[in-house]
Amino acid sequence: MRRILTIVLATALIGGAFAQQIRIMGYGGQDPAILVRLLDEVIGAELAAEGITLTYEPLEGDYNAALFNALSAGTAADIFYIPVETAPGIIATGKVLALDGLFDTAPFIESLVEAYTVDGSVYGIAKDFNTLAIHYNIDLFDEAGVDYPDANDTWATFADKLRAVAALDTDVYGTCFPAGFDRFGAFAFATGWQPFDADGATNLLDPAFIEAVTWYTDLVREGVAIQPSDIGQGWTGGCFATDDVAIAIEGAWMLGFLRNEAPNLQYGTTFMPIGPSGERGNFLYTVAYGINTDSPNRAAALRVLEAITGPAAQQWVLEQGLAIPSRTALADNPFFLEGTPEATANRVVFEGAADGNVLGFQFGNIGTDWMTPVNDALVAIMTGQATVDESLTEAQRDLNALIERAR
């Protein structure tokens, strides 16, 4: 018995000296397959030559709960995903390595670096990002004889176009509007409204916010827009793929879904409509890689981070139509100008990050809980259960309590 143990230990020690095993924890879904292909086709050989092997450990289900558990138990991987909306909490655990002086953040888009900066230190390197764009169903617009949405649309002209297409048939709607701040917020930002003031307080009763809520929910009340759940869909992409709606407001993540679910759907993509402030509003959604402070292989982990966020890897991810790269140098990538619907959609989403009032999908240390009162209010208004004023007053009260708790 003792002899076997010795052999096992010795093998582990010798093996450790030659090959370094780096673990990455991230989402489930399609991410494990993407990383395997990225390794096989782009960065795997290079890393293997340096004696580094990579394994990907998908955390299925509630990613944040699983990651907090792993971090606390000391079983977290060397590198893990940090979703932007929960980044403050994850960084606050003290388990994420500050990258100051260890990693060059200059080649990355500034707003993405900022989303992961706490007290002047950078804790995560964005793997990619997304913004919202208007994807329109070419056939439905042609059938209705309506001009396609374009970059000059304001809220008013945009709504008129939706009305015109929705008039086609009782089963056709202008768009799906979910009762969620994760989409609606982009419209709120287009009024110049911001979720937090200098003191970290939220004002939902700001006339600008009320204007956005009224515009968004009125389209639903009018029957031009519809909640996805009311036509048996879970999200706007589902509404769009089944030709139920003329436009979808989603990010580039919808493209892969359309490729599989609606390969014959002819679509175009343009920018979000211009809001009352004269600017567009948009969200910046992103996920970063962070390094575990307790990682025994810090140097190798940094080397892996460099490779998976490197130009070669990002170029590959972009060309596969998987995500928008986080490196500024890829902005004038020839891929964006290929003219295919997917390339155009990717370009619009990429440029959306620097066009108008763009805010990160982040709510300080309150996290996604911040959205709950707002979402409840949107539902109540859309379904006609309460007026805008009543709902927002109640939401404001709930939100004040939430902010108070988090302080």
Partner 1 sequence: MRTKRSDTVAAYLFLLPFLVLLLIFFVYATGRAIYFSFTDYDLFRPPNWVGLRNYAALFADALFLSALRNSILFAVIVTAVQTFLALVMAAVLNQKVRGIGFFRAAFYMPSITSSVVITLIFLWMFQRRGLINFLTETLQRHLPVLLAFALILIAVQVVQVAWERRRELPAAWTDPALLVVSLLVASGATWLLVTTGLILPRDVPPVDFIWLQTRDTIPSGAPFWLSVPIPLAAIMIQNVFTTIPTFMLMYLAALQDVPKSHYEAAAIDGANATQQFLRITIPSVAPVTFLVLTLSMIGTLQMFDQVAIFGDAAPLRSVVTLAYFVYDRMFPGAQTPEVGFAAAGAMFLAVLTLVVVLLQRRLVRSEGY
Q: Which residues bind partner 1 (CB under 8 A)?
A: 62, 64-65, 68, 71-72, 85-90, 92-95, 179-180, 227, 229-232, 362-370, 372, 375-376, 379-380, 383, 385, 398, 401, 406
Q: From residue 87, how far is each of 103, 265, 278, 361 by CA, in Å? A: 19, 36, 31, 10
> Which of 32/180 has CB closer to partner 1?
180
> Which of 66/354 has CB closer to partner 1?
66
> Which of 79/220 has CB closer to partner 1?
220
> Which of 220/353 has CB closer to partner 1?
220
CA proximity to 146, closest of 220, 239, 246, 222: 246
> Which of 43/225 has CB closer to partner 1?
225
- 3-state secondary structure (DSSP) of residue 270: strand
Shortest distance, CB of residue 375 to partner 1, whole angstroms? 7
In b/e form, how buried is each residue of 299-329, taking b as 16+ CB within 10 angstroms?
A: ebbbbbbebbbbeebbbbbbeebbbbbbbee
Shortest distance, CB of residue 231 to partner 1, whole angstroms? 7
Shortest distance, CB of residue 389 to partner 1, whole angstroms? 16
Q: Is 104 exposed, middle or buried (0-12, 13-18, 19+ CB in 10 A)?
A: exposed
> Which of 190/379 has CB closer to partner 1?
379
Structural contact between residues 300 and 118, judged by C-beta atoms closer than 8 angstroms: no
Give the strand pairing for 133-137 and 267-270.
antiparallel
What's the rounded Cα separation, in Å, for the pair 144 and 110?
A: 42
Shortest distance, CB of residue 320 to partner 1, whole angstroms? 30
Shortest distance, CB of residue 259 to partner 1, whole angstroms? 25
Shortest distance, CB of residue 365 to partner 1, whole angstroms? 5
Shortest distance, CB of residue 368 to partner 1, whole angstroms? 5
Helix, strand counts (H, E) of the chain? 17, 13
What's the rounded Cα separation, in Å, for the pair 201 and 309?
A: 35
> Which of 343/378 has CB closer to partner 1?
378
